[in-house]
Amino acid sequence: MGADAAAALIGDGMTVAVSGFTPAGCPKAVPLALAAQVRSGQRKLRLTLLSGASTGEELDNAWAELGMIARRAPYMTSKALRAAVNGGAEEEIAYTDLHLGEFAQNARCGFYGKIDFALVEAAAITEEGNIVPTTALGCSQSWIDLADRVIVELNLRQPAALEGFHDVYRPADPPRREPIPLTGVGERIGTPYLSCPAEKIAAVVVSECEEKPRPFPPADAVSEAIARNIVRFLLREKEQGRLSADRVPLQSGVGAVANAVLLGLKDSPLEHLSFYSEVMQDGILDLIDAGKADFASATSLSLSKEGLARLFADIERYRGRLVLRDSEISNSAEVIRRLGVIAMNTAVEADIYGNVNSSQMNGSTVYNGIGGSGDYARNALISIFMTPSAAKGGRISCIVPMVTHVDHTEHDVDVLVTEQGWADLRGLSPKERARLIIERCAHPDYREALRAYFEAACAATHGAQTPHILSESFRFHENLAQSGTMREEKKGDAKC
Amino acid sequence: MGADAAAALIGDGMTVAVSGFTPAGCPKAVPLALAAQVRSGQRKLRLTLLSGASTGEELDNAWAELGMIARRAPYMTSKALRAAVNGGAEEEIAYTDLHLGEFAQNARCGFYGKIDFALVEAAAITEEGNIVPTTALGCSQSWIDLADRVIVELNLRQPAALEGFHDVYRPADPPRREPIPLTGVGERIGTPYLSCPAEKIAAVVVSECEEKPRPFPPADAVSEAIARNIVRFLLREKEQGRLSADRVPLQSGVGAVANAVLLGLKDSPLEHLSFYSEVMQDGILDLIDAGKADFASATSLSLSKEGLARLFADIERYRGRLVLRDSEISNSAEVIRRLGVIAMNTAVEADIYGNVNSSQMNGSTVYNGIGGSGDYARNALISIFMTPSAAKGGRISCIVPMVTHVDHTEHDVDVLVTEQGWADLRGLSPKERARLIIERCAHPDYREALRAYFEAACAATHGAQTPHILSESFRFHENLAQSGTMREEKKGDAKC
């Protein structure tokens, strides 16, 4: 069927669930055709859009710009969607931000209602009618199983040689679930394809849409310094006889800092690295090529344009070294805890007691969402959070007295790393953590103000467990709103 | 060995790890003897105390009163300890509040240093030298495995018939962990006793210390109304065809409200209940006696004095209906998610967006700690939090614009219940949640003020994802500090 005819099957008010995770693996032709129908004024649609994580520009951005999305879960990264979620568009989007590892089961247990259409990108369809996915899985199999009807986009630009890179596993749901039998990053527990009863297939659309990865984030001196600190921490764990990155897998978030960490690992003395992660970035290919990494497991190959070209040009080189899993397996609490993953995620801001905000500005405006960070941080052997100590040319301190939104509580943050240094928070009381975070992680320009807050809070609460002065706890943020910087304006008194 | 001689083995600066969970199963004679040595001025000690959760008065309270505790993890409930943790004692205690389900593995992985002594209460010692625990397990087996030396308190007041009520399981640690093979609340995967190499035993002390349970919290009209709302919610889940309490196990927290819920379940039409929990309270015995509950699994039998007498008088009646597990199994993310537990935990306060504070007053003063609430809330099939809508005779609203401390983020709270009603937050955006929580859960006296805050925040942020006005977000708490009530004082303008 043509993309236009397939798109016409999707009606107003429907729930559409799509394959993929990040732009990787997402359907493109049908979403673009549907957007064109709306843009031309032919149709008006308000849809619920479910996915594995974020999607490509063809989907979230195009649909949000046209006001086609009424509800969205479980994650997003798109300018137009972000605006509409935060009230900056005519038609508001009700966005539910969720732990990605829990999303598929919740949907199967009926928490989000009926799914009308699953849209799934395929690299090939086998003779038996099975679907070979493209560069990501996300919740594809669950969407197929739950949806009334399925539209498959067979993308001729995706190499059929991707067959064999996937491991699709269908867990039973409570109360009949069995242990997920995965005990090592390289094991296979499922099938290399998605399966779908023929009678559910509403359309197979042949597409030649090119994958449009997000631009590769450049590393900078600050990211490199953070990466050096992480490598130092990992080496110290090894020296002290504890489990470290040569014996347990790493999880690595997405973005410039995460990529810098991968580069830092390449140049480190650590050997036999492995990854159990949600997203593989280009750095993973570098580590495999350099003989540093033995294996990587994720739900998405979210590579740059160059990275994708490199993978596709030499795909046999990576076969047996990479596996793509359902996001409920890549992000499974059970498996992450079992493998002893060392998790490395980024914070928007952290507070002096170790609470982390990874999603909201000023407690109000969501940037992307939590994604899988909570799945990893909670269940990891060691949970590392990293952030530059300051942002916006020093006008923002990323270490604050109190975060304005908590995504990861003090109980889920073992180590905090900035370019200034790292604070190992394990086994410390909140007041001990505060002293360490201020001295080791905060930017020098803000240390005095943080010390002053901490000491004043200790005095005001007579040394309570987690001293705070509620009327002062967001002063950094209020300064920023008033004067464009978190720094205190110089006043008559000596206080910084 | 006498308790006094055994206590003398424990030296200054040592780390002592104890059996049990709540007062149940904790050692008593040696801790009291050690306290007596300090009280008499014979000795001065500063110790690190690790446990399963809280302990009996003989331990936390007696030791804290004497300034014997330098460091404490992972939980506490004791007046003297609470005072010292919050700066209200001469000698401060560094308290680390942790997810109870993660504590044993973290200790085995070396995060908290060397353990000098394990103190373990026993109901019996078998001919083979195995240790039959008493009314709780906690981390007992890990403490025995990690400690240099072990002191066993053989408590003659504990019935030897407790043999067979325990299921002790030793998971391997990453990277060699296998799936925890538990797939049903009643299954057994371990041994009925703790094991310890004979050469590690430093002393066996015969004790006749009586168990001193905490007084049974009385139910009141508000608790009963909360319980009714929870039962209604569970029945609605069943009516709507989703998994409910007749097909998946329940977890129930500790305290008056939790007990009222158990009583409410007894009078409900739900049948074949089962429990996968950390603590069993008296209500579990009632449910078993009434033929309503088939089985209960926990790490602690934290019964009242009457409940314990009832259990011990008729112990064969409960054999095969109750099992006590290591807290890392009762609170295991893997098992909780697999079984599809419906979690019911209490909140100190919740905010209009669904974030929950379960541990700290005014963001500063810890009351008890998070305990296992996070283990269950994060991994549950459905995570319910409950709280009265108001406290202290209405002077405190338990629904606030922004919680002053986050233990459970908006992502971990599916349903919020007060005596006013319940709000099903699944699949809703934060703004949708706010409207529902204010109208369904907040106390009527505070609804107008909450609506006013929410509307002002929506206006100020132009409808951001989670609207907040940082300078106003803690106004309820500031009112309380200034005027003894969270209520707004009547001002000239019409605003409530």
Q: What is the predicted pLDDT for the residue at B490? A: 58
User: What is the H or E stretch that residue A12 is in?
Assistant: none
Q: What is the DSSP letter of B200?
A: G
How many angstroms separate the CA atoms of A358 and A363, rounded? 11
- On the 0-12 / 13-18 / 19+ scale of CB atoms within 10 A, B36 is middle
Please give the residue of chain A at the shortest CA–CA distance from B93. Answer: A429
Q: Pairing relation of β-strands A149-155 and A117-122?
A: parallel
User: Which positions in chain B touch A179 (Cβ < 8 Å)?
Assistant: 179-181, 183, 334, 338
* Six token digits for residue A143: 């969407």
Question: What residues in chain B have per-residue pLDDT under 70?
Answer: 490-496
> What's the total number of domains in chain B?
2
Phi-psi region of B393 (alpha: psi -120 to 50; beta: other; left: phi over 0): left
Q: What is the predicted pLDDT for the residue at A22? A: 95
Element counts in chain B: helices (H) and strands (E): 17, 26
The CA-based diameter of chain B, rounded to the nearest angstrom, is 80
A467: in domain: no
Asked if A125 and A64 sit in the same domain, the reply is: yes
Domain C-terminal end among A185, A207, A229? A207
Amino acid residing at A59: L
Q: Pairing relation of β-strands B300-301 and A47-50?
A: unpaired
Asked if B197 and B341 sit in the same domain, the reply is: no
**pLDDT of A84 strictly over 50:** yes
Asked if B193 and B240 sit in the same domain, the reply is: no
Does the CA dihedral A349-A352-A356-A359 come out positive or negative? negative
User: Which positions in chain B touch A461 (Cβ < 8 Å)?
Assistant: 86-87, 362, 364-365
Asked if B227 and B362 sit in the same domain, the reply is: yes
How many angstroms separate the CA atoms of B417 and B422, rounded? 4
Find, among A25, A328, A300, A325, the residue nearest to A166 by Cα: A325
Domain C-terminal end among B429, B445, B461? B445
Best A78, A275, A465 member to test B by mutation, with max B CBs in 10 Å, is A465
User: By three-state DSSP, how is residue A435 classified?
Assistant: helix
List pLDDT tens digits, range B389-428.
999 999 999 999 999 999 999 999 999 999 999 999 999 9
User: Which positions in chain B touch A87 (Cβ < 8 Å)?
Assistant: 458, 461-464
B300: in domain: yes
Q: Does A73 touch chain B (CB under 8 A)?
A: yes
Asked if A27 and A51 sit in the same domain, the reply is: yes
Phi then psi for residue A188, to 5 deg, are -115, 135
Find, among B104, B410, B375, the residue nearest to A334 by Cα: B375
Distance of CA A302 to the CA centre of its chain: 11
Answer whether B407's CB lies under 8 Å from B356's CB: yes
Q: What is the predicted pLDDT for the residue at B133? A: 98
List pLDDT tens digits, range B118-151.
999 999 999 999 999 999 999 999 999 999 999 9
Asked if A198 and A225 sit in the same domain, the reply is: no
Q: What is the DSSP letter of A200?
A: G
Asked if B169 and B279 sit in the same domain, the reply is: no
**pLDDT of A310 strictly over 80:** yes
Residue count of chain A, please give it.
Answer: 496
Asked if A185 and A241 sit in the same domain, the reply is: no
A137: in domain: yes
Nearest CB to B243; choose among A85, A98, A109:
A109
* Chain B, window 271-330: residues with a beta carbon less than 8 angstroms from a chain A beta carbon: none
CB atoms within 10 A of CB B283: 23
Asked if B264 and B134 sit in the same domain, the reply is: no
Does the CA dihedral B294-B298-B304-B305 come out positive or negative? positive
Please give the residue of chain B at the shortest CA–CA distance from A248. Answer: B175
How many angstroms separate the CA atoms of B13 and B15, rounded? 7
Asked if B274 and B328 sit in the same domain, the reply is: yes
Look-up of token digits 């709507």: B240
B29: in domain: yes
Is position A278 annotated as part of the catalytic site?
Answer: yes
Verify cis geometry, omega within 30 degrees of 0, for the bond prior to B213. Answer: no
Verify cis geometry, omega within 30 degrees of 0, for the bond prior to A31. Answer: no
Q: What is the DSSP letter of B91?
A: S
A148: in domain: yes
* Six token digits for residue B327: 């807290």
Q: What is the predicted pLDDT for the residue at A494? A: 41
Look-up of token digits 């300090």: B38
How many angstroms separate the CA atoms of A480 and A485, rounded? 4
Look-up of token digits 């559409």: A16
Answer whether B356's CB lies under 8 Å from B413's CB: yes
B454–chain A nearest CA distance, Å: 12
Asked if A226 and A179 sit in the same domain, the reply is: no
Asked if A185 and A246 sit in the same domain, the reply is: no
The ipTM of this complex is 0.96
**pLDDT of A493 strictly over 60:** no
A229: in domain: yes
Amino acid residing at A244: S
Q: What is the predicted pLDDT for the residue at A213? A: 85
Answer whether B134's CB lies under 8 Å from A469's CB: no
| Rounded (5°) CA angle B243-B248-B254 | 120
Domain C-terminal end among B207, B239, B257? B207
How many angstroms separate the CA atoms of B64 and B45, rounded? 11
A256 confidence band (pLDDT: 50, 70, 90): confident
Over residues A318-345, the mean pLDDT reads 98
DSSP A296-349: EEESEE---HHHHHHHHHTHHHHBTTEEEEBHHHHT-HHHHHHHT-EEEEE-SE
The CA-based diameter of chain A, rounded to the nearest angstrom, is 80
List pLDDT tens digits, range A382-438.
999 999 999 999 999 999 999 999 999 999 999 999 999 999 999 999 999 999 999
B214: in domain: no
Q: What is the CATH number of the domain that holds B169?
A: 3.40.1080.10
B136: in domain: yes
Element counts in chain A: helices (H) and strands (E): 17, 27
Domain that holds residue B281: 221-445
